[in-house]
Structure 1
């Protein structure tokens, strides 16, 4: 007894005819008729009275139809259960971010929605992040600006201004701000090569004809923050990442409008990985329109 034969019988009984059963099964009528014939032949029973353009169940057919109703109801329940199980998102989501600030709130909400997902978060610059994604060492990246390459899909998080910052007391009047030329007279603490913040700063300085020479190159944003907090010099950061550190003060950059976009990215060929798809779908509906944050006056 084959499943296809029972299915053909059930649909003929349920729909009251071979033609309608064939339409429901997306098969030809002869194919459905053949499946029912083989079932009857294999068990030496008559399941339908064929009466011109209509069919009628025999007593044996009535009993079998009751059983197939139960069978296909259970089959549907199994399908529903497996579908629900498949929809449950579990596993590991590895995120590499040039700044965790932009995804912290999102991650908390995502974990509450998908408690079966273990999230790991580590830092890196743009080059590191793209390399990790392409090496399958991470699922999601958060980087500045849109990357080049057709292998990357992205979701824009908006933009913020880049500002200077220093230890409290280093400048007499930090609120007055500095031009890039004035800032260059101080010891500068910059991120490592590959940092989008540093690249954006250097591009604007070159446009203005200002030479930016780091006194200290620090690996990572937190290292820059601690060096600046020690009074070693001036650093640069996007306004959204400045945070609340009483040791530090913001310094507007006068005559320079340097902006930093933040973008969630993943490999295009991994878009159907369940945990990636869930994260991107979760991030997209709740995100605001691209925002613009300007320095404090």
Structure 2
């Protein structure tokens, strides 16, 4: 197995095709194809399904791709270590968050300090976030509760209660609040399975002998917000994330004590990746009590 073969495979997998890999590596497409073919032939495996002009990873290819992500990240860390220790930090910081609200200010400060770092931010629920971290498709996650798993390091951002909310005019007196039993009589707009907010609500409802049956299941917090704003029913969110929307009104939940924690997480084995280490230093400065 040669390093050049692994690099060729990695670029094809990362970029989704032999032509793109060839352009990125400043090589010809036949040269890239030959490197991958030799890798497959030497180990008697199929790494890609070739479908006309498209390629798709096989199961073996998926596993190898995860390993090459780790390999070339360690290679970059070695290069960083061997270069000037105080060289400017650059690269990409990919963040997947269940709510961007908790890291917006932090990201602004981070970008001011490290302008050469490109930051991407996308949304996901807890299960999706942990999957993306473990697949090396993200460096940082922001999730509802700290997962009980040894492969991630965590920083607690604090907790806020869960509140209900609805479109203005749906309730006569929203400030009086609702019990879970009363809320369950309305059409409920709930997050997808895997959402920590939904799981916490359903757990509390079960304790009270109540079934929360969704009228609509919406993918993501913004989708829930838009459905609720249309007057379709009642939604739920942590108080810190409710924000200000003139279409919506907050509804306190009576007889319910549910708090949603927010936690920054990253893979423990990637703690020395420079961009992760730099971001976590900023985060700990704002939230010194680490879990």
Give your verdict on TM over 0.5: yes
Per-residue Cα deviation, 1:245-291 (whole angstroms, up to 9, x for no partner): 0000000000001110000000000000000000001110122669x
Q: Report the equivalent of 2:85.
A: 83
Contact conserved, 2:156 with 2:287, CA < 8 A, in 1?
no
Where do residues 8-87 of structure 1 align in structure 2 (5 Å cutoff)?
82-85=84-87
Does residue 245 of structure 1 match 2:245? yes
Q: Which residue of 2 aligns with 1:53?
A: none
1:142 equivalent in alignment to 2:131: no
> Which secondary structure does the structure 2 equivalent of 1:157 belong to?
strand
Q: CA deviation at 1:206?
A: 0.4
Q: CA deviation at 1:148?
A: 1.8
Gaps of 5+ in 2: 1-80
Q: CA deviation at 1:82?
A: 2.3
Separation (CA, whole Å) in 1 of partners of 2:84 and 2:112 = 23
Per the TM alignment, residue 223 of structure 1 is displaced from its structure 2 partner at its CA by 0.3
Partner in structure 2 of residue 188 of structure 1: 188
2:102 and 2:143 mapped to 1: Cα distance?
Answer: 10
CA separation of 1:152/1:288 partners in 2, compared to 1, >3 Å: closer, same or farther? closer
TM superposition score normalised by structure 1: 0.69
Structure 1 residues 288, 253: closer, same or farther in 2, change over 3 A? Answer: farther
What are the residue-to-residue correspondences of 1:1-297 with 2, within 5 Å? 82-85=84-87, 88-287=88-287
CA distance in 2, matches of 1:115, 1:217: 39
**Partner Cα separation in structure 2 for residue 283 and residue 179 of structure 1:** 36
- Check whether the contact 1:158–1:289 (CA below 8 A) recurs between aligned residues: no
Deviation track 1:95-154 (CA, whole Å, cap 9, x = no partner) reads 000000000000000000111100000000000000000000000000001112100100
Give the superposed CA RMSD. Answer: 1.6
Give the ranges of 4+ consecutive aligned residues of structure 1 lying more than 4 Å apart after TM superposition. none
Tell me the SS of whatever aligns to 1:255. Answer: coil
For 2:233 and 2:85, the matched residues in 1 are separated by 58
Q: TM-score, normalised by structure 2?
A: 0.70
